[in-house]
Chain A
Amino acid sequence: MGTLAEEILGAPAGEYVDRRVDRAYAHDGTGVLAREAWLSIGTGAFPDPDHRYLIFDHIVPANTSLTADLQKELRVFARQQGMHLSDVGGGVCHQVMAEGYALPGEVIVGADSHSCTLGAFGAFATGVGATDMAGIWATGETWFRVPETTGVFLDGALTGAAAAKDVALAYVSALGMDGATYRALEFVGEGAGGLSMADRLTLSNMAVETGAKAGMFYADAVTREYLAGFGHAVEEQTPVDGYRQEVTLDLGDIEPLLALPPRVDTVCPVAEKEGLAVDQVFLGTCTCGRYEDLEAFARIVRGKKVTVRTVVVPASRAVLTRAASTWVLPALIEAGCAVGTPGCGPCLGAHMGVIGEGEVCLSTANRNFRNRMGVGGEIYLASPQTAAATALAGEIRSPEGCL
């Protein structure tokens, strides 16, 4: 028996395979070029539109006439082809796909680098660019090099103020920004089994930050229960033993962490940077914009006031709806957070929540590249809990004292 990637792709590591793509999705950014490329291919074929998704999340609602025109064209295209269309306000593509579409054992391709998020379900999920997506739209399949796998062993359980995001930063810093290039990650061990679906999605999401093409969990009872909530009955998958390359983390040792600008693999305990003034806090994204993240943040700011501008963008409409039906959304609004349309929000620095020259943002996202959220701005990455403690203090602050 092979690794999960080998099992799903049906060949040993190192081989090239052509695989039918079970689900493919693109967003308002990559969709534009994918549409152009598909038109240029010129065969007119668009097989399996029922399993093709176009999700508006990057610049929503449109900010300029140019964006609006590009989105209009894309919306018409999606309707013509009979694709699933998740329009403005539906949420970040990876989260939308995580709400009952992605299933264990599937080959899922997204025209976005964080498509590895869906590996949390035991799917082989990976990102491609626009022209690859056009090829999938036209032929229903694509080629892969079956990846070698790095096993990420998780022991123990999270304690104190540590969160899944801290585990993600810990493994990214252990592997480095290219430590798993061309490879797949598999998250295994008792600690992995103890994580919720929301936590798993956070871990799988950041796999690409190590260069990995996939970041997978084996479907288990947690996966089954989550997907049962969407009406799917799925089978559990059996982990392989033995990886040629391994990383081991004891979740009990994880403390709140911070990735320092401009490298996601430069990580230190939050405690070491306490007191550093921030100008903006951003809670959201495909990494940490789920209900559980909003709730963890709200638990800390509830009944208090944030002292810096704080932007909260739920990852999907379902997240927003759930937060609105509990104490969470009112607590965030009353604490002084600005709540935005579900989607990517300020993450990509293209339309809203952009930071100014010399400004510092503490963000729950996955990337802190130079200038990403605005020219001359700096991004520190952390968990929702650290973001909440920081929003209250106006400076970087560990959430440890807040619990």
Chain B
Amino acid sequence: MKGEGHAVCLGRDIDTDLIIAGRYLRTKDRSVWAAHVFEDLDPTLAGRLAGAVIVAGPNFGCGSSREQAAVALKEAGVVAVAAPTFARIFFRNAVNIGLLVLECEIPCHEGEAVRFDLDEGWIEAGGTRRPLRPLSPRMREILRSGGLVPYLSGGHG
């Protein structure tokens, strides 16, 4: 599991209400969440997320358990989210829907290329390579299956 993308820099404590507002939750149409992702933070952000690696401050995804937050990012084309710490429900949700989450300390420069390799455990940006905090073996397997649904329907658990 490796990948790369352009950095989109965000601050600390980005809550799930900011990722996708409560007023957009009542639908099953995933494109709605992708269209309105980060709307209350910066309405221009949604257009910059395809192929992006979000590099955020600590406590990314705090707040509600709404899985739509992780789904919105994935649907918008986010390759991975990197942050020093994540709110734990967001972290589980991301793994469960197959969105890559990278726990690490890495400086962020908007637009610059970010590369990572989850199996080898590193992330690289602007010539700096930093280690990733390892995921548990279970989380890695779930991610490798593409999420919890394919993991469980594939006979695990």
Query: A residues near B, CB below 8 A?
Result: 16, 29-30, 32-33, 36-37, 40-43, 59, 64, 66-67, 70, 111-113, 127-132, 134-135, 138-139, 141, 143, 145, 177-178, 181-182, 211, 213, 263, 348-350, 367, 369-372, 375
Which residues of chain B are within 8 angstroms of A367 by Cβ–Cβ distance? 17, 63-64
Known pairs A66-B26, A143-B138; A37 contacts B89 (CB<8 A) = no
Cα(A111)–Cα(B65), bound, Å = 7
Question: Chain A contacts of B40 at CB under 8 A?
Answer: 370-371, 375
Q: Which of B3-37 contact A (CB under 8 A)?
A: 12-13, 15, 17-18, 21-23, 25-28
**Interface assignment of B76: CB less than 8 Å from any CB of chain A:** no
Q: Is B66 an interface residue (CB 8 A)?
A: yes
How many positions in chain B have a CB within 8 Å of any CB in the partner chain? 40
CA A41 to CA B149, docked complex, whole Å? 5
Q: How far is the CA of A123 from the CA of B64 in the complex (A)?
A: 21
Whether the pair A129, B13 counts as a contact (CB closer than 8 A) is no
Contact A113:B63 (CB < 8 A) given known A138-B157, A178-B13, A263-B13: yes
Given the complex, which residues of A lie within 8 Å of B153, measured CB to CB?
A: 40-43
Determine the chain A residues whose CB is within 8 A of the CB of B68 once the complex forms: 33
Question: Which residue from A40, A111, A141, A178 sits with its C-beta under 8 Å from B62?
Answer: A178
- The interface bits of chain B over 62-93 (1 if a CB of A lies within 8 angstroms of the residue's CB, else 0) are 11111110100000000000000111110011
- List 9 additional A-B contacts (Cβ < 8 Å) besides A113-B63, A134-B149, A178-B12: A131-B96, A131-B148, A135-B96, A177-B13, A348-B64, A349-B22, A350-B25, A367-B63, A375-B40
The chain A residue sitting closest to B60, CB to CB, is: A178
Question: Within the complex, which residue of A29, A43, A182, A371 is in contact with B152, where a contact is CB–CB below 8 Å?
Answer: A43
B136 engages A67 (CB within 8 Å): no
Quick check: A348 and B13 within 8 Å, CB to CB? no
A residues in contact with B53, CB < 8 Å: none
CA distance A348 to B24 in the complex (A): 11
Candidates A70, A132, A178; contact of B92 at CB < 8 Å = A132
**CB closest chain-B residue, reference A59:** B26
Residues of chain A within 8 A (CB-CB) of B13 are 177-178, 263
B97 at the interface (CB under 8 A from A): yes
CB-based contact A129/B26 at 8 Å: no
A369 touches B18 (CB 8 A): yes
Q: Which residue of B lies closest to A40 (CB)?
A: B149
User: Which of B17, B26, B138, B153 counts the most A-chain CB atoms under 10 A from its CB?
Assistant: B26
List chain A residues, Cβ under 8 A from B59: 177-178, 181, 211
A16 touches B138 (CB 8 A): yes
A273 shortest CB reach to chain B, Å:
22
Would you call A211 and B27 a contact (CB within 8 A)? Answer: no
Query: Smallest CB–CB gap between A331 and chain B, Å?
Result: 31
The distance in angstroms between the C-alpha atoms of A372 and B147, with both chains bound, is: 29
Q: How far is the CB of B112 from chain A (nearest CB, A)?
A: 26
Of all chain A residues, which has the CB nearest B157? Answer: A139
